[in-house]
Amino acid sequence: MAITTNGFFVFLQSDEWFFLYSFRAIEQLGGLELETDYPYEGEDDKCVFNKSIARVQISGAVNITSNETDMAKWLVNHGPISIGINANAMQFYMGGISHPWKMLCNPTNLDHGVLIVGYGAKDYPLFHKHLPYWTIKNSWGKSWGEQGYYRVYRGDGTCGVNKMASSSVV
């Protein structure tokens, strides 16, 4: 699995601490290349990292709180948040704000790494609904979802968005 960080790739496993280990590995390697220089191919292969074309360096990593209000504050002040998520509902996503039932998207069964890049809210006056959401960048390409992005309900830990959150320190 992979997550995308501002156009850069970090390869992950579905383990809570692996996000932080991945950030530490990036720090030790000397940075990240652009996605166009080192595209994700979905195959096991040898690392061919070229430090001379690295475009960003990081100086550490932090775990982020599970409080979604505080997560939004972090996002505004510091930038994208790497998260683990249950990707069951994502497989069928075509657009809109996803808010699947917990029985269809267990928040404790995290199986995919993605990146929270924004948030917002949409009003649906006809249904008298106000839906807050996260905007998530996925690694499945621009032909998936909303041009590679996923909007998921914000505020109740939908699909585990708040269970495993971390970020690099740039």
Q: Delineate the domains of the chain, giving CATH numbers in brackets.
A: 2-169 (3.90.70.10)
Of the candidates 15, 6, 2, 156, the residue with the CA atom closest to the CA atom of residue 81? 6
Q: Is the pLDDT of residue 52 over 60?
A: yes
Which tens digits make up the pLDDT trace of 21-34?
788 888 888 898 88
**Phi/psi at 109 (5° precision):** -105, 70
State the Cα–Cα distance between residues 131 and 128, nearest whole angstrom: 10
Record the pTM: 0.82
Which tens digits make up the pLDDT trace of 60-109?
889 999 999 999 999 999 999 999 999 999 999 999 999 999 999 999 99
**pLDDT reported for residue 3:** 38
Q: What is the average pLDDT value for the chain, to the nearest integer? A: 86
163-to-3, 96, 128, 144 alpha-carbon distances in Å? 16, 23, 29, 24
